[in-house]
Structure 1
Amino acid sequence: MKIAPIIDAIYEARSKGNNIGFRLVHTGQHYDKNMSDSFFEQLGIPEPDINLGAGGGTQAEQAAAIMVGYEKLLINEKSDLCLVVGDVTSTMACAIAAQKLHVPVAHVEAGIRSGDWTMPEEINRMVTDSITNYFFTTTEIANNNLRKSGVEEERIFFVGNTMIDTLLKHRHRFQKPSIWDELGLKNSEFIVMTLHRPANVDQEFKLRTLVDEIVTNSKDLPLIFPVHPRTKKILENLGISHPRLHMIEPLGYLEFNFLVENAKCVITDSGGITEETAVMGIPCMTLRDNTERPETISRGTNELIGTDPKAIKPNMEKLFSGNWKKGGEIEKWDGKTSERIVQHLLNIFSKK
């Protein structure tokens, strides 16, 4: 989702005579069919030039496999730049391997921070940004985080959010998933749920209580819950079921966002989804105690309600009373972020 529009912008720059190319490396970290391959198909991403096949195992095992594979690739065919996106294990591992071979690193979505070191993503962000050369940021908040850590102004490029490039480009293509007709869903008359963070799903009693509170306080609305592979195993052990709770397989990008755009609200612990709901104007409750995307709260439709199941009821009451905030525009989340990134890259390398 974050790479697709950058590839489009590179193609566009090449069509105008600019000397820029890319090699797409799929690390294999995300190996679930619906959470990987379908995104390539639906978003028009070309087949990866390389797939390192580093899926599975612990985070340390994944990081090691990615570093070994990417290092071999760079030794055999060195690139002028390693561009990484987001905050997953692949982001950090590829940045480390590249820098050790003296390949400069550009980090898309640099500078965001939650302050929560219990989150693997936060460690990935901090390590990546500590060895990054060029920082492409989503907000002024991220810029300030980088400045505070000592990054020079000339290495910070405030470009916006590539996730929103993808959202705006494909919004007219959103596809109705089969669950829509199967359940007779109607606009604004159902709730979408996603849960995958350890703080919410690793403790069986906590997960059960969260789900029970959501079911109890959602009136008679259907609850559509595309289940992350991580969460699925735990739910199966718990034997959770309810007539209005529909646990389904992960959806493709176009199908999932069709549901989000038409939902009464979204209940999630995902950072990326809070960005999409902010732009689409859909109420969002985030079951976390912190967020690396505060702009979705200050400018968007997101509320950070914490991980205490007791927070569900008052927030549901607020939603059903019609008092949920409307949100507004977020600077540079305009669908042109990738164009800005590629132009900056052209400028950087024209000076070398």
Structure 2
Amino acid sequence: MVMWFRDPGRAEDALPHYFSILEGEEAPNFLNAKKIGVNFRRKQPLEELWKLHREGMERLRENDLEEKPEKNLLDLKATIANKLLESCTLCEIKCRVNRKESIGYCRVKESLVASDFLHYGEEPELVPSYTVFFSGCNFRCVFCQNWDISQYRVGVELPPEFMAIKIEEAFKRGAKNVNFVGGEPTPNLPFILETLRHVSAPIPVVWNSNMYMSEEAMALLDGVVDVYLGDFKWGNDDCAIRYSRVPFYREIVTRNFLLAKGHYRAEFLIRHLVVPNHLECCTRPVLEWIAGNLGKRVRVNVMFQYRPEYRAMGYDEIARTLEGEEMEKAARIVEELGLRNALVG
């Protein structure tokens, strides 16, 4: 297999906020959100809570912090997220199931943790990463390598307070970040926000996602996420429908990357999995969009780890691993576009 890597040290050019947290120079975003006082009642109408949220975010951006307010912006975010479960619109499928009573399209009702551990297989700047795998997903990727948790309800239900203790313990053991993944973390956003309310450790939050969140979910993530570890899978909607069963993929995912670009002190680490026979329809347009819209300094991981898992053998065009020529071509595209902080391999 061709292995072609740029210098991992370049990550500091793309992720200065993240590295400042690791060095103790800045606080993770969620801890600053806890220092924004917000006076609200949990039974207030959702429209009123969103108005208070907008005001709180403005104060966060103005650095209008106070120590230990009675109620804070993170509390408000958790309250709004919990209300959204009653007619779920956390992702762009927008199934509107009352997930307090039933399982949504994502196969999630209550959040189930399939596994959690210090992960050493992520990008160099992330490891060791305390990775929390949730079951369930809003995608139906035919080649999913985590299909055993993404397509089924497995795992254990943990109280948010206990999950917070586990995050604190992982931080003491040397975790550089808490990495919420799946499956997909989006259906579990209420649980994640409630968990972070109980975390005091200065640990960066990594949102390891397919980036198919709704605008409401994006607003709640603003001021919480330090690094968007986002997948950018497909360069067009036809491939997204055929292999992941998601409509309007390119419009929604590019919108969310642009929204995240404007989020409070948020940074990117974008993954693109190179799929056989999809260099021109997906790899090239994905990387062109990233270079043109997020800049050539953004951290990108162009990955060659594709293997035909789950149901991929039913699709002849992707029923194999990458060929050396495809790897070389992907590497050339990265070079041509001048993505200077890329990992390829």
TM-score, scaled relative to structure 2: 0.34
Higher RCO (Cα < 8 Å, 6 or more apart): 2
**Higher-Rg member (1/2):** 1
TM-score, scaled relative to structure 1: 0.34
